[in-house]
Structure 1
Amino acid sequence: MKPRFIIIIAVFISLFALINYYIGWHIQLFLGSVFHIEQFTLFWVLFWLVVFSFLIGRLGSRYMPYWLSSLTKLVGAYWLAIMFFSFVLLPFIDLAAGGLLLFSVEPALTILILGSLLCLLVLLLMLRGSWNASHPIVRTYPITIPKGAGKLAKLRIAVASDLHLGTIVGNKKLQVLVDQINALEPDLILLPGDVIDDEIKPFIHHNMGDIMKQLKAPLGKYAVLGNHEYMGGHIQEFAEQMSASGIDLLMDRSVRIADSFYVIGRKDKAAEGLGPDGRMKLDALLADVDQSIPLILMDHQPHRLDLAEAAGVDVMLSGHTHRGQMMPNHFITRRLFELDWGYLKKGKLHAIVSSGYGTWGPPIRIGSRSEIIELVITFES
């Protein structure tokens, strides 16, 4: 590893540990005050195991039984959500505690009231967040492209980004996705990246490809790579799985469909650092396409919309952001991307960024919803 990368990882782990110690100290204070516990050695051992269980399950998957690595990842995923909500709320709880102590409220009563309030708030956020993540909705975007598309007057596309299929998002939710998409009766199905959650092993282990074969669209099913496919490092095996599922994986490649429009798939931006061959410049990728007919581009990260607009792309479909997944993270994604969620007309470009169907880490969403995009395009020459 490069020294810079080692330093970044060390800083991240140190901050992660400090945040969790801050939370763990408050848990100890609450348990000690309410239940009069005096010995916390076992508590801290179990606490740190839970804190690092997601990392243990992810990094140890090669050496652990599948059921054990899956269980540790699941426990760790839920803890990440509890940690996040606790870290956001605890400063306000501490301020309230200071205020109550100024009014001479007994410390034990203060801890009981505010500790119980924090537990209730975190529980409510977890329940609501779980509901948001497990009840996907369909968002419809009707747009018009001032180009002819052969004999097509309209095109209905089902778009599902960021499935993150794996240990957390499993067969049950995948089947819901398939049923919802098929109910739309789309002409075309597009999957703009992060189909799997890092590892290919759970996808194969649970025969997820058999469920994906049920997707139906007369004009085809296409996908592109996301950053998580590159992080997992099994690109060739993933491509084979997609092909076996009847899905054409577009890696810096365009396809002319029904002699009416193009679907263009870019490798993810992560390929610039993680892929052996990088990724093509957009201009080079579009060099041989006929721009007199509509161009639909899938690029996992909504990066540089201006370049897509300047290159003559009509529709750009992305995901990646999850709209922050858990608020107030959406304030960060808004600063990082010109469009972090929803629809934007930029010149002649129609840009759509989905909050995604699956989740990364905890299966929790606050301030965002799991979604499928129904894109209805009208062509006018």
Structure 2
Amino acid sequence: MLLRLVPMLIVFGALNFYVGWHGDLLLSSLWPAFPRAVYWILFAVIAFSYLLGRMLIGDGSGIAAAPGRLLKVVGSYYFAVFELGFLLVVLADIAALVAYLCGADMSAFVPAAGGIVVLALLVLLAWGSRNAWSPVARTYDIEVAKKAGDLKTLKIAVVSDIHLGNTVGNRHLDRLLPQVNEWRPDLILLAGDVIDDSIEPFVRRSMADRLARLEAEYGTFAVLGNHEYYGGHIEEYVERMREIGIPVLRDETVTVAGGVQIAGRKDKTAEAADPEGRLPVRELTASFDRTRPIVVLDHQPYGYDLAAEAGADILISGHTHRGQFAPNHWITRRLFELDWGYLRKGSMHAFVSSGFGTWGPPIRLASRSETMRITVHFKEETA
């Protein structure tokens, strides 16, 4: 991990120097007397504030925890400022080259271009913040050609990637509860990354009390995401969820409503981070009756062919955030067979949610915080 981290930090530092240098140029043109050393110290602290914050937080009990949490939040926002700022600065440099070749007055160009970049960045951040904090409900109607006892329809509410922590907290959960409960779902599925990494803010701010208010006739079930593994408090998290009546399925199965079979997979991270690994999906569903509906809950949207071969009628995932903010969605579109929305693969219905919360900055561009409302109609095939 250290061998991978060092090159990443070097690249991150170099790209930040590129962005910071442009900020220095703009500041020099607008406020020549401002000390350059002060600017670069402040810039370096902000650029690496997420990493510094995580180091200071520790287990959340020390005297440095409070400033650490502040730095982590600042650093979360900075990720969006950095990426969007980098792209805007590149465009500004291209414009500067064209202006220079055309003989423009470059002393006037710098503050003008800098002002446009800053204004564009503020607009993108404001719009992205609105998309992150104003979740929508996506609705889907599907048909599964199987019988589920006497059940004709099943309303499934899907929530993924809440990322509860220092940035996303109880206020955002207060947006979740009415959006889910007012629809009156029969079943609620939490598709991983309920917490961001550390369980400390989840406990300190009693977020489980909010999750306990989710209401569904056949219950609420969750699976682990990669961020629960990153935090390293899985057993405590699973126990706290159990206490509020939300089982976390770790390569476990359950049958609800007299015939709907649910398989909850460990996250793909378990293949490296869990000494027991995780079961292949075909082994997890081996005991299921294939004449009855099978729902597979798997945080990361991989292995669609294997899930279909294992008998899954519905596969539900999250993880991708659809890139969270543009142009990252161009990358996720190529990394995953389905990075957001709905896909029919043979008789299997696959869903990937862009997530209700956010990782890092609460900014979304070309994506939106969401819940999914899936209405399943059961209709047994006739010969």
* TM-score computed with the length of structure 1 as normaliser: 0.97
**Structure 1 residues 360 and 153: alpha-carbon distance in aligned structure 2, compared to 1, 3 A threshold:** same
State how 1:246-261 maps to structure 2 within 5 Å.
246-261=245-260
CA deviations over 1:324-352 (Å, ceiling 9, x no partner): 00111111111111111110000010000
Q: CA–CA distance in 1 between the matches of 2:168 and 2:340?
A: 21
2:215 is aligned to: 216
Amino acid at match of 1:120: L
1:273 is aligned to: 272
Asked if 1:42 is matched to 2:38, the reply is yes
How far off its partner does 1:39 sit? Answer: 2.8
State how 1:67-216 maps to structure 2 within 5 Å.
67-216=66-215
How far off its partner does 1:83 sit? Answer: 0.3
How far off its partner does 1:64 sit? Answer: 4.9
Q: CA–CA distance in 2 between the matches of 1:66 and 1:211?
A: 24
State how 1:218-367 maps to structure 2 within 5 Å.
218-367=217-366
How far off its partner does 1:114 sit? Answer: 0.3
Amino acid at match of 1:371: E
Q: CA–CA distance in 2 between the matches of 1:64 and 1:299?
A: 38
**Structure 1 residues 134 and 276: alpha-carbon distance in aligned structure 2, compared to 1, 3 A threshold:** same
Q: 67-76 vs 157-166, which deviates more? A: 67-76
Q: CA–CA distance in 1 between the matches of 2:362 and 2:33?
A: 33
How far off its partner does 1:289 sit? Answer: 1.4
How far off its partner does 1:56 sit? Answer: 1.1
How far off its partner does 1:38 sit? Answer: 5.8
Instruction: Check conservation: 1:34, 1:108, Cα contact below 8 A.
Output: no
Amino acid at match of 2:353: S
Q: CA–CA distance in 2 between the matches of 1:118 and 1:11?
A: 29
Asked if 1:11 is matched to 2:7, the reply is yes
CA deviations over 1:291-335 (Å, ceiling 9, x no partner): 111001100000010101111100000000000001111111111
**Structure 1 residues 107 and 250: alpha-carbon distance in aligned structure 2, compared to 1, 3 A threshold:** same
Counterpart of 1:29 (choices 17, 20, 25) is 25
CA deviations over 1:134-189 (Å, ceiling 9, x no partner): 00000001000000000110000110000000111010001110121001100010
Q: CA–CA distance in 1 between the matches of 2:23 and 2:128?
A: 22
Q: CA–CA distance in 1 between the matches of 2:127 and 2:63?
A: 33
Q: 285-294 vs 60-69, which deviates more? A: 60-69
How far off its partner does 1:25 sit? Answer: 0.3
Q: CA–CA distance in 1 between the matches of 2:268 and 2:41?
A: 40
Q: 243-252 vs 221-230, which deviates more? A: 243-252
Q: CA–CA distance in 1 between the matches of 2:22 and 2:129?
A: 25
Instruction: Check conservation: 2:296, 2:316, Cα contact below 8 A.
Output: yes
SS at match of 1:296: strand
SS at match of 1:75: helix
Amino acid at match of 2:26: F
Amino acid at match of 1:162: D
SS at match of 2:166: coil
Name the % identity.
Answer: 46
Q: CA–CA distance in 1 between the matches of 2:275 and 2:191?
A: 21
Q: 250-259 vs 123-132, which deviates more? A: 250-259
Structure 1: gaps of 5 or more residues: none
Structure 2: gaps of 5 or more residues: none
Amino acid at match of 1:242: M
Q: RMSD between aligned alpha carbons?
A: 1.0
2:16 is aligned to: 20
Q: CA–CA distance in 1 between the matches of 2:122 and 2:294?
A: 46
Q: CA–CA distance in 1 between the matches of 2:250 and 2:89?
A: 45
Q: CA–CA distance in 2 between the matches of 1:282 and 1:141?
A: 25
Amino acid at match of 1:56: L
Q: 53-62 vs 78-87, which deviates more? A: 53-62
Q: CA–CA distance in 2 between the matches of 1:320 and 1:367?
A: 16
**Structure 1 residues 53 and 293: alpha-carbon distance in aligned structure 2, compared to 1, 3 A threshold:** same
Asked if 1:55 is matched to 2:51, the reply is yes
SS at match of 2:343: strand
Instruction: Check conservation: 1:31, 1:37, Cα contact below 8 A.
Output: no
CA deviations over 1:103-140 (Å, ceiling 9, x no partner): 33222210011000000110000000000000000000
